[in-house]
Amino acid sequence: METKKVLIVEDEMIIAMLIERMVVNLGHEVIDKVSSGEDAINKALEHRPDLILMDIRLKGEIDGIEAISRIQEKMSIPVIYISGNSDLAHQKKMNNTDYIDFLSKPITESELSKSFSIAS
């Protein structure tokens, strides 16, 4: 499996660091970690990552689903949602975006590995 450049969008820094460690352990490169939807959009357009790991609840005005919608209007980047929040309203909104997988927090490295293999 080839190395992917990954953008992590997560508003809790400790979780972002845990996810980063998993991504690196799986042999991929983390190009940035951001905590708001606005930053996610800017960094995605700037870095053009191969994959985005996206939390749904974020700092700022834009949630993760809205951020992905705006990114995907401009370019096609696969996304894996990672959230502790899997209610129906969010699931309906997520279904309007093009995503690979949804992982419920807390996630494990093996779950992330499976999602990455779907993404490749």
CATH of 5-119, one of 3.50.50.60, 3.40.50.2300, 3.40.605.10, 3.40.47.10: 3.40.50.2300
Report which of 85, 110, 71 is spatially closest to residue 12, judged by C-alpha positions: 85
| 29-34 and 79-83 beta bridge pairing | unpaired
Q: Which of 102, 97, 112 is nearest to 67 (CA)?
A: 97
What distance in Å separates the CA atoms of residue 95 and residue 81, rounded to the nearest whole number? Answer: 11
pLDDT tens for 31-83 read 999 999 999 999 999 999 999 999 999 999 999 999 999 999 999 999 999 99
Taking the C-alpha atoms of residue 46 and residue 12, their distance in angstroms, rounded to an integer, is 22
Question: Is the pLDDT score of 120 beyond 80?
Answer: no
Least Cα distance to 79 among 6, 1, 3 occurs for 6
Q: How confident is the model at residue 119 (pLDDT cuts 50, 70, 90)?
A: confident
Domain boundaries, the chain: 5-119
